[in-house]
Structure 1
Amino acid sequence: MIVRRAGEADVATLAELRGVDGHKLSAYADWVAAHAETHLPFVAEVDGHVVGAAWLHVAQRVPSSESLDRWYGDIQSVKVREEYRNRGIGGALMAAILAEARVRGLLHVTVHSGRRAVDFYLRNGFRHHRQILLWEPTAS
């Protein structure tokens, strides 16, 4: 298995993993290119085929008196093809993303997880945090 940063040649596969229809591929590719500095895709390959992907969204917090440089990350859109699950691919993607977070000196990395994946993130060094709160608009 190889885990690497995804490049322009991977856009169609990234789109397919996200369920983006072919007629939206051009718009998806434009979005990926426009967000290349803030949304970093990583892919896992087995035998030359991409079998999983995960994204690190990098953003900056408002400066404080202690630091003007306050960057953080958020894990997004983690997907491993069903037939490749439970082989350590998700963990390898997390290791690559968290290594990138360390290199960039990010303050922290968050993830908004579905219920089924909570244990996966806990095994990969994440923990529940009581200060994270969520607001969602009410349906009208």
Structure 2
Amino acid sequence: MIVRRASAADVGALAELRGIDEGRLSAYTDWVASHRETHLPFIAEIDGDVVGAAWLHVAARVPSNDSLDRRYGDIQSVEVREEYRNRGIGGALVTAILTEARARGLLHVTVHSGRRAVDFYLRNGFSHHRQILLWEPTGS
């Protein structure tokens, strides 16, 4: 297995993993290109086939007196093809993202996980944090 940063040549595979319809591929490709500085895709390959992907969203908090550089990360859209699950591919993708986060000096990395994946993230070094709160709009 090879895990690496995705390139422009990988957009089709990224779109397919996300279930992007062919009619929306051009718009998806444009989105990926316009967000290349803030949304970093990683892919996992086996025998040249893309079997998984994950994204690191890099964002910045408002500067403080202590630090002008307050960037943090958020893991998004970790996906592994069903037939390749439980082989360590998701963990390898998360490891690559956390390595990138360290190299960029990010303050922390968050993830908004579905219930089924919470144990996966706990096994990969994440912890519950009581200071993260969530607001969602209600129907109008």
Is the TM-score greater than 0.5? yes
Cα distance in 2 between the residues matched to 1:8 and 1:66: 37
Alignment of 1:46-125 (within 5 A): 46-125=46-125
Amino acid at match of 1:111: V
Amino acid at match of 2:58: V
Cα distance in 2 between the residues matched to 1:19 and 1:137: 26
Cα distance in 1 between the residues matched to 2:95 and 2:135: 30
Gaps of 5+ in 1: none
Cα shift at 1:4: 0.2
Amino acid at match of 1:117: A
Cα distance in 1 between the residues matched to 2:90 and 2:114: 15
Cα distance in 2 between the residues matched to 1:135 and 1:42: 29
Cα distance in 2 between the residues matched to 1:25 and 1:122: 34
**Which string of whole-angstrom CA distances, capped at 9 and with x for unpartnered residues, describes residues 39-66 of structure 1?**
0000000010000000000001000010
Gaps of 5+ in 2: none
SS in 1 for 2:94: helix
Superposition misfits of 4+ residues, deviation over 2 angstroms: none
Root mean square deviation, CA, Å: 0.4
SS in 2 for 1:91: helix
Cα distance in 2 between the residues matched to 1:72 and 1:59: 6
SS in 2 for 1:41: strand
Cα shift at 1:139: 1.0
What is the total number of aligned residue pairs between the two structures?
140
Cα distance in 2 between the residues matched to 1:15 and 1:134: 28
Cα distance in 1 between the residues matched to 2:105 and 2:120: 24
Matched with 1:131 is 131
- Identical-pair percentage: 82
TM-score by length of 2: 0.99
Amino acid at match of 1:9: A
Amino acid at match of 1:96: A
Cα distance in 1 between the residues matched to 2:117 and 2:105: 26
Amino acid at match of 1:70: R
